[in-house]
Structure 1
Amino acid sequence: MINTLLSALRFDHRWLSDQFVEESRQLGELEKSKEHHYVPQFYLKRWAVGGLVQPALVDGSLILRPQPPKGVAKSTNFYSLPPVGSAMGTPLRWIETHLSRIEHETAQHLSKLDTHVPGVIDDRELKRDLSVFLALQIARTPNSRELKMCLISGPIAAKREFYRRVMPNVSDAEFQAMVDRTEADPKREALNLMFADVRNVSAGALFRREWVVFDTTGPIISCDDPVVLVAGGNFPRRLSAGVALSSVVFYPLGPNRLLVMFIEPGQARGEYVLDERETQSVNREVVAAAHRMTFERPGDDLATKFEVPPRNYCELDQELIARLDDTAALQLLLKAATPRCRWDGVENPPPWPVPRWYS
């Protein structure tokens, strides 16, 4: 359904092409792994010391024992599906293969950024590739999966009201045709939406930004939702502005380097090195962005120094929503399917990280 609305914004890239996908499907027939990482192992290894990273649970500020990257940020059969029309048989695991192929090339790009002089990135092909990778990272996390499942499980009446507002010329017959094309298996539809988000929204929005590499004063950490969206500007602290409207999007590249994607050119405003206070504000934002867990080098011991509120969840009450009119049902559906910020409801939230980035 949503694919139809967004198809005009399609971001063309070989990793999103039918040919690349078909190659992944064929190679995926041999895929045996059941433990699927939603944060790539090659990325987590950037924080490894002696082959181990330090995970910590954000809610409860609990430090866990150091572990190898292969043991964290994973879920059993996260991308697997049973064959169409069958509840039995070997799961389809081609998506894990597909992501692994992309990660192999991305690892080389991140290595290139390790030696990039702090400042603006002008390499458009590198940006194109990383835009797809980072958009996939946004879409593949458990938090994103939960939001999509909430949207998929919403009532048809609320979805019809949504289309009346954003596509008023869509007839009831056309809307029903979109409903009929929706996958019956919610997880399969969620995976479809994952790729639709990348192709039609996130990759292009990231690519159009100005990309800047920053060094940091002191170590920075990462998390299980490592592409951090910062609404910034005049947005209330409690809101998420999404990929298209966030003033800043950043991605830790390693313990002392940060990739920042600005919505406007020249927004860095100053040196391409974050001072100690700015570095700590980035770390706090990473902790707040985490779904459940942060990752750092063993011995840095940063994650539990930042107290953040618990993440807010809004589950759909099917009995309640059935009693609402279409407009009220839509409002509840959109609220449940919108990213929840940890600062929602906090009386005195901290300022946006690195204040010089906003004007």
Structure 2
Amino acid sequence: MTKRKRARPAPQKQPYELAAEAMTAAGQEPKGHHLVPRFYLERWAVNDRIRVTDMVNDRRTFELSPSKAARVNDFYRSEDHEAGDQSPVVYEAWLSEIEGKAAGVIAQILEDGINSMSAQQHSDLCHFLGMQITRTHAARIGRRSVATHGLAHLSADGHDGALRQFLVKLGREPTPQAVRDMRNQLPDMIADPMKFPLSRMEDLRMSSISGGHAAIFIGNRNFAIYETTRALITCDEPVIELAEDMGVHPEIGALWGAPIYVFPLDPHHVLAMFRRDLPAPGPIELTTAETLELNAVIAGSARHYAFSRPSDKLATKIYLPPPAPPGASQIHKNPADATSELIQFWTPKRWHGDERAPVRPVEHWWPAVVPSPPIPTPDEREMMKRQSRER
């Protein structure tokens, strides 16, 4: 007698999946989404108003409610959504769940201190911060810029193999004419990475995966909260890397190597995240000068908007150089193999190359000499391998 195979039970749906289904069934799929969460912007609100400053178009400044500020229609919509793909609405509901957990954690640590977090709350906060790095406009541009520069380097000197493989990946026939057309489009895609043909669904997938990877690196950092004398501003890219010289692209940076990351929590508190080999200095209140310096870093990190209390127009007055190009790359000789080369990709920051860029912002946070980053932990090495494969 042949035994019948038992049918596997259907996987239990997560609360965010049920919430997404309910929204779709009720015809209430959200059309807009905040670039930074509403609960976060509300921390700068006075009488339900915050000041928004356009850091790209002549520092135009105006007041809005947190519910309307930094809101973009169809930010997660996808015309290329196919059956079997995860719905963008599911992504939005999942992200809302992450933000909801983080809102409670941030309120708690502001009230009871950084050490009041449980292990789960620490994980929830790190996941939120990781996603806040990987879901933004700058992250979207960065992903496309890296891909475009990589394709340009691999297809240099008339090498068409990478272009043919890319066309196949896009589902196109790699005819000689299609390869020539793709090659001719590369300069435009380098100038404007959003022209790179990355589908919205693939973008959401990469955002969610890389956000989880970022959370691992953030979780290995030393956290501390500092009060400020003067009010802080924030921006649409609020998880910010600090470098000793903000005018120079660091050779080793990002979430593994950068000495310090910051995240403004409210107008008078900032979360500083120190590399795991750098102990967090004591809770010294930032002076007015230090806070102004930090505000200059925050303003320079804005992709488009800075946010502040309604009465605070500092973002209109801070000196900033022009916006940076969308991406950059450089070829290095491989020190381990003289016959090969290494290609470095990065997203230039607005302060890069400017002689007035902040140096060692918030001086007392920095050791006299910043050591080289420690050897990656096993989980960090695994994340690095995964990131390399995904690229």
Is structure 2 residue 73 aligned with structure 1 residue 65? no
Distance 1:353 1:33, change over 3 A: same
Is structure 2 residue 65 aligned with structure 1 residue 52? no
Match of 1:151 in 2: 146
Residue identity over aligned pairs, in percent, reads 26
User: What amino acid does structure 2 have at the position aligned with 1:53?
Assistant: I
Match of 1:258 among 262, 265, 270: 270
Match of 1:229 in 2: 241
Alpha-carbon distance between aligned partners in 2 of 1:219 and 1:158, rounded to the nearest angstrom? 45
Question: What are the superposed Cα offsets for residues 246-270 of structure 1, whole Å, 9 maximum, x if unpaired?
Answer: 1111111101111111103663334
Alpha-carbon distance between aligned partners in 2 of 1:300 and 1:224, rounded to the nearest angstrom? 17
Question: What are the superposed Cα offsets for residues 278-300 of structure 1, whole Å, 9 maximum, x if unpaired?
Answer: 11111111101111110000112
Distance 1:249 1:23, change over 3 A: farther
Q: Which has the larger radius of gyration?
A: 2
Alpha-carbon distance between aligned partners in 2 of 1:350 and 1:199, rounded to the nearest angstrom? 30
Q: Which runs of 5+ in 2 are unaligned?
A: 1-11, 172-196, 329-339, 368-391
Q: Aligned-pair distance for 1:181?
A: 9.7
Match of 2:217 among 205, 224, 233: 205
Match of 1:340 in 2: 348
Give the TM-score taking structure 2 as reference length. Answer: 0.69
Is structure 2 residue 168 aligned with structure 1 residue 136? no
Distance 1:121 1:351, change over 3 A: farther
Alpha-carbon distance between aligned partners in 2 of 1:107 and 1:314, rounded to the nearest angstrom? 31
Give the SS at the match of 2:272.
strand
Q: Aligned-pair distance for 1:69?
A: 1.4
User: What amino acid does structure 1 have at the position aligned with 2:205?
Assistant: N
Q: Which has the higher contact order (CA 8 A, sep 6+)?
A: 1
Give the SS at the match of 1:71.
coil
Alpha-carbon distance between aligned partners in 2 of 1:21 and 1:84, rounded to the nearest angstrom? 19
Is structure 2 residue 388 aligned with structure 1 residue 357? no
CA RMSD of aligned residues (A): 3.5
Q: Aligned-pair distance for 1:111?
A: 0.9
Give the SS at the match of 2:306.
strand
Match of 2:261 among 227, 249, 252: 249
Match of 2:323 among 311, 327, 344: 311
Q: Number of residue pairs matched? A: 309
Is structure 2 residue 93 aligned with structure 1 residue 97? yes
Distance 1:159 1:72, change over 3 A: farther
Distance 1:84 1:187, change over 3 A: closer
Question: What are the superposed Cα offsets for residues 19-44 of structure 1, whole Å, 9 maximum, x if unpaired?
Answer: 56755654563552211212111110
Give the TM-score taking structure 1 as reference length. Answer: 0.75
Q: Aligned-pair distance for 1:305?
A: 2.6
Is structure 2 residue 128 aligned with structure 1 residue 116? no
Whether the aligned pair in 1 keeps the contact of 2:17 and 2:90 (CA below 8 Å) is no
Alpha-carbon distance between aligned partners in 1 of 2:322 and 2:152, rounded to the nearest angstrom? 32
Match of 2:201 in 1: 188
Alpha-carbon distance between aligned partners in 2 of 1:92 and 1:123, rounded to the nearest angstrom? 31
User: What amino acid does structure 1 have at the position aligned with 2:307?
Assistant: F
Alpha-carbon distance between aligned partners in 2 of 1:24 and 1:239, rounded to the nearest angstrom? 43
Match of 2:121 in 1: 126
Alpha-carbon distance between aligned partners in 2 of 1:54 and 1:219, rounded to the nearest angstrom? 13
